[in-house]
Every structure is written in structure tokens, then in C-alpha cells.
Amino acid sequence: MNQYHSKTMEKVIRMERRDGVDVGFNSSNLEPLNRVGCVGKSGIDKTYRLEQVIPLAYEIRANIIVKAGENAKWYLKRCDPTEIDAKIEKQQRWRNGTKRYKMWIIEWDN
């Protein structure tokens, strides 16, 4: 774990992982500053580890990190914490292919 990552982890108040869910749609994906780690039109390199994606999320205050499967890219999103459950439910009605998704919800210390 590098020094930058450990300083970022100090800013995490709470982190929760939920499996098989997502929030938002493709248009809700955010890019890291200067497109660090980005591959293609959107998404972060699939070879990154969660420990590498967390600092990218912190820089733009994205509170959602999604990986849609073992060989999928990472995606950063922002969602009002009070709306997360409703957005998950909306996604579940719209799409049924999220069983391999892993989503982390992060509460940052400002």
C-alpha cells in the first residue's frame, strides 16, 4: 500500500460492498482527474485493484465504485446517499444482468 493510498483511506468514514447491484446508467459514469487509468470511451483499466481506484474516487468525491465482473472495467459514480436504495431498485427493474456486479458505497470525511 503506497503512502497516497493510506492517506486516502484515512478519509473513508464508512465503506460498504453490495453484490449484484448498480446505480445510475452509463451516462452517470464519472472520469478520474486527467483521465488517470481510463481506457477507451469510459471506465478505468480492469487491471487496477480496488486499492488503486479508491484514491481516484476520492479526488473527484465519487461515492460509488462499480466493477461489473472480474474482467470488467471499473466505474466511478456519484449518488446522493439517501437515494442509493431507490436507484438500485430502479436498476433492478430495468436490467437483470447485474449478478456479477460489485458496488462499493463510500462515505468520505470532508
Contact 65, 57 (CB under 8 A): yes
Mean per-residue pLDDT pooled into runs of 10, the chain (110 residues): 63 94 82 94 94 95 94 96 91 76 93
pLDDT at position 27: 67
Q: What pLDDT, on the 0 to 100 scale, is given for residue 1? A: 44
Q: Supply the pLDDT for residue 35.
A: 94
Q: Where are the domains of the chain?
A: 3-108
The C-alpha cell at 89 is: 431498485
* Residue-wise DSSP of 17-38: EEES---S-GGG-BPPGGGTTB
Into which CATH architecture does domain 3-108 fall? Answer: 3-Layer(bba) Sandwich (3.50)
